[in-house]
Amino acid sequence: MVPRAAITLKDPPYALDALEPHMSKQTLEFHWGKHHRAYVDNMNKQTAGTELEGKSLEEVVLASWNGGNPTPVFNNAAQVWNHTFFWESMKPNGGGEPTGKLADAIKSSFGSFDEFKTQFKNAGATQFGSGWAWLVADKSGKLSIEKTPNAVTPVVEGKTPILTMDVWEHAYYLDVQNRRPDYMTTFVDKLINWEEVAKRYQAATA
């Protein structure tokens, strides 16, 4: 039997300079080209020759979470998943407001789009140290906001994220130094790919 190939680093769905001036090419070169690449390389080294070799990325994430007692593989595998999801949550000329069923769900879950923005940024601001802010959908269509430390993803709890914002310092330091609030405002107002988030929402509630 031919073994399945190792997990590979997936390209962002746009050129590395396409998010400028809101996120610089230099940030993408370091964040995707070095940090994300290192997570992929380290995960492949850790899984080589184990029962996880050849598994899908999602399978590796769930197995290495180990019911809340993560193995050393987890941090790298989950960060590979989280970062790919993050790149695909953004687009050039992003931001604005969602429309359709997703917009309705945000209004019913949070009261207004502005209140969603406030709560989402607050989740990022209050995540001490490194981590992620998430918009999560349940099967009924209700939305909630979560924050997770380090590499942890809602996927390991059987939840369905539809948007994430990276609040590790390497996500923004080259652009705004330690000003996480400025980065979060730019992310929400200028970078979110609401069309992609709407597709994820539709899939989560199908």
Q: Per-residue b/e over 70-95, b at no fewer than 16 CB within 10 Å? A: beebbbbbbbbbbbbbbbbbbbbebb
At residue 192, the pLDDT reads 98
Across the chain, mean pLDDT equals 94
Can you give the pTM of this predicted structure?
0.94
Model confidence at 3, pLDDT cuts 50, 70, 90, reads very low
Grouping H, G, I as helix, E, B as strand and the rest as coil, residue 94 is: coil
Model confidence at 41, pLDDT cuts 50, 70, 90, reads very high
pLDDT average, residue stretch 159-173: 94
pLDDT in tens, 178-193: 889 999 999 999 999 9
